[in-house]
């Protein structure tokens, strides 16, 4: 092997090593489930492209069983205290996304019931009555169960539009600002079903 060839080979290996390191730096792993989420994503809606940053990752557990790892993304996420971050996230106007990667099988009935409970527990009676038609429409997207490693995506676009994406298939959008806020409150409200501090750990001041 000539010195020139050896030098080129070393350079190529070094570049590949750097590329691997850069790729690793672009992912954040939820430690409990081992599911990895990119630090930045780009989504398009209505002809507009939105750059979203990861605000944090968390795990959803039911009793002692892990159900899914999740990452939350937001357009131009705020800096500040945890409470300020929660308030900003629950306010319409910026594009947001929740990505859930399941770690166990869950049947369709259990998924729908979990959302029903979430809406009921995070809204007033008047709000629940007003958004019930939107809840019914939303639940219609969840007609099948999930298997391990299946992916659910929920996008909250400006104007209160929720777009469910189930296993890569975009479902019919649900547009209502109150519905969107209550849906996100399931994870970001005071009675969050996950550790909500984890979901803002990348943007909230320590």
Q: Which two tokens stand for residue 25?
A: 């730096």
pTM higher than the cut 0.95: no
Give average pLDDT by consecutive 10-residue segment, the chain, 206 residues. Answer: 48 38 70 97 93 98 95 93 92 97 96 97 98 98 94 97 96 98 98 97 81
For the domain covering 31-200, report its CATH number.
3.50.70.10
Closest CA to 183 of 127, 115, 132, 124: 115
Kindly write down the DSSP assignment for every residue of 6-31, as one continuous string.
Answer: HHHHHHHHHHHHHHHHHHHHTEEEET
pLDDT of residue 4: 53
Q: pLDDT per residue over 27-37, tens digit each? A: 999 999 999 99
pLDDT of residue 139: 97
Pairwise CA distance, residues 54 & 21, whole Å: 19
Domain parsing of the chain, residue ranges: 1-27, 31-200
pLDDT of residue 2: 59
């Amino acid at each position: 092997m000539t010195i020139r060839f050896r030098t080129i080979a070393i350079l190529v290996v070094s570049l590949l090593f750097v590329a691997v390191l850069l790729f690793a730096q672009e992912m954040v792993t939820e430690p409990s489930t081992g599911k990895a989420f990119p630090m930045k994503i780009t989504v398009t809606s209505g002809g507009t492209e939105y750059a979203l940053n990861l605000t944090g990752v968390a795990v959803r557990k039911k009793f002692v069983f892990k159900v899914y790892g999740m990452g939350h993304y937001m357009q131009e996420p705020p800096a500040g205290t945890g409470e300020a971050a929660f308030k900003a996230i629950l306010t319409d106007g910026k594009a947001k996304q929740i990505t859930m990667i399941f770690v166990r099988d869950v049947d369709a009935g259990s998924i729908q019931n979990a959302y029903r409970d979430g809406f009921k527990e995070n809204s007033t009676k008047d709000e629940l009555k007003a958004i019930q038609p939107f809840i019914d429409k939303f639940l219609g997207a969840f007609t099948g169960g999930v298997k391990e490693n299946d992916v659910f995506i929920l996008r909250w676009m400006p104007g209160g539009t929720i777009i469910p994406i189930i296993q890569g298939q975009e479902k019919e959008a649900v547009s209502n600002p109150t519905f969107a806020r209550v849906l996100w409150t399931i994870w970001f409200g005071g009675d969050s079903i996950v550790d909500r501090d984890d979901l803002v750990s990348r943007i909230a001041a320590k």
